[in-house]
């Protein structure tokens, strides 16, 4: 028996390291297809990741670079079209199975299911990207393991705003202390914390290594697996070789002390 009822997972960087060789490549493919000479190299993309959401990221780039559009074009329509193309390229990339789930993700999901712990997703990315990733890079049926998948534009404000976590809690009929959140970024940590999710695990990813992660009490390099141990960067794993439900329960207990 654990002190929490559900785990809420982020997607990008958390379930899979999708940004550098996934989303970034898809943005560049969409730019090239549209005849634009924009190219987001690894470093520039890292800076643009401060802005969550693909459409928002394109807009920020256009502002920063002083791009002036043909006045006949509606900027929102232009960005939306470009972003649809990016999603198409990203889904095609996922179909190749090029982006694996991170070590320990499937193991932890299976352990949770067996223990009756409920599963949900709270992410900034487009919904099709979540199902595409899980279907092509996970295992058959894994999409259905999640009771709620809250993604993209379904809330007014993306992370670091708490909106997407509030939506998950509402749809599951749970409150923040019932849950553990798993994130990989400072924006994600701020979003979860603003929703009152104090039991927060950070698994650092390619672009988020060394970020601040605000109030997170446990930061690891990965969930880890037997033979592929996790390393604690902040806090400790209590001697466990990888993150399992007991580690999450310990984390939950720190956040919400029980008698």
CB of 76 to Mg ion, least distance (A): 25
Own/partner pairs for 144-150, CB < 8 Å, 24+ apart?
A: 145/109, 145/113, 145/119, 146/119, 146/120, 146/121, 147/6, 147/118, 147/119, 147/120, 147/172, 148/120, 148/121, 148/172, 149/120, 149/121, 149/123, 150/120, 150/121, 150/122, 150/123
Query: What Å distances lie between residue 148 and 7, 131, 199, 210, CA to CA?
Result: 11, 12, 19, 30
- Candidates 4, 23, 104, 207; binder of ligand XBP (CB under 6 A) is 23
- Closer residue to Mg ion (CB): 86 or 190: 190
- Candidates 28, 124, 203, 211; binder of ligand XBP (CB under 6 A) is 124
Residue 66's CB is within 10 A of a number of other CB atoms, namely: 6
- Closer residue to Mg ion (CB): 3 or 216: 216
CB of 37 to Mg ion, least distance (A): 29
Considering only 32-40, 68-76, 184-192, 213-221, which stretch makes contact with ligand XBP by CB under 6 A?
184-192
Identify whether 41 is a catalytic site residue: no
Q: Within 57-96, which residues bind ligand XBP (CB under 6 A)?
A: 86-87
Q: Within 24-63, which residues bind ligand XBP (CB under 6 A)?
A: 52-54
Residue 82 host element (H or E): helix 75-95
Residue 247 host element (H or E): helix 245-255
Q: Within 187-206, which residues bind ligand XBP (CB under 6 A)?
A: 187-188
Residue 111's CB is within 10 A of a number of other CB atoms, namely: 16
- Candidates 99, 112, 117, 126; binder of ligand XBP (CB under 6 A) is 126
What x/- string results for residues 168 through 187 when contact with Mg ion is judged by CB under 5 A?
----------------xx--
Cis before 53 (ω within 30):
no
104 binds, among Mg ion, ligand XBP, none (CB under 5 to 8 A by kind): none
Identify whether 12 is a catalytic site residue: yes
Q: Within 2-61, which residues bind Mg ion (CB under 5 A)?
A: 10, 12-13
Considering only 11-19, 172-180, 216-224, 229-237, which stretch makes contact with ligand XBP by CB under 6 A?
11-19
CA distance 233 to 197: 20
3 binds, among Mg ion, ligand XBP, none (CB under 5 to 8 A by kind): none
Residue 214's CB is within 10 A of a number of other CB atoms, namely: 17
Q: Give residue for tokens 């060394």.
A: 210
Would you tell me which residues interact with Mg ion (CB under 5 A)? 10, 12-13, 184-185, 188
Would you tell me which residues interact with ligand XBP (CB under 6 A)? 10-13, 19, 23, 52-54, 86-87, 123-126, 129, 159, 185, 187-188
Active site residues: 10, 12
């Amino acid at each position: 028996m654990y002190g929490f009822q559900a785990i809420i997972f982020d997607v990008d960087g958390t379930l899979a390291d999708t940004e550098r060789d996934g989303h970034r490549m898809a943005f560049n493919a969409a730019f090239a297809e549209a005849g634009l000479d924009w190219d987001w190299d690894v470093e520039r993309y890292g800076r643009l990741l401060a802005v969550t959401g693909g459409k928002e990221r394109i807009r920020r780039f256009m502002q920063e670079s002083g791009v002036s559009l043909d006045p006949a074009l509606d900027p929102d329509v232009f960005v939306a079209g470009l972003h649809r193309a990016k999603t198409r390229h990203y889904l095609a990339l996922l179909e190749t199975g090029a982006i694996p789930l991170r070590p320990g993700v499937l193991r932890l999901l299976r352990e949770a299911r067996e223990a009756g712990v409920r599963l949900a997703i709270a992410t900034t990315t487009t919904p099709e990207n979540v199902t595409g990733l899980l279907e092509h890079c996970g295992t058959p049926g894994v999409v259905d393991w999640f009771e709620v998948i809250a993604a993209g534009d379904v809330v007014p404000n993306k992370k670091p705003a708490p909106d997407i976590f509030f939506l998950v809690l509402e749809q599951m009929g749970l409150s923040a202390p019932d849950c553990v959140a798993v994130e990989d970024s400072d924006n994600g940590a701020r979003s979860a914390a603003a929703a009152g999710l104090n039991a927060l695990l950070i698994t650092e990813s390619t672009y988020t290594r060394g970020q601040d992660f605000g109030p997170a009490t446990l930061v690891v390099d990965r969930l880890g697996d037997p033979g592929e141990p996790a390393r604690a960067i902040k806090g400790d794993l209590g001697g466990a070789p990888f993150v399992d439900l007991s580690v999450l329960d310990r984390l939950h207990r720190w956040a919400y002390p029980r008698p």
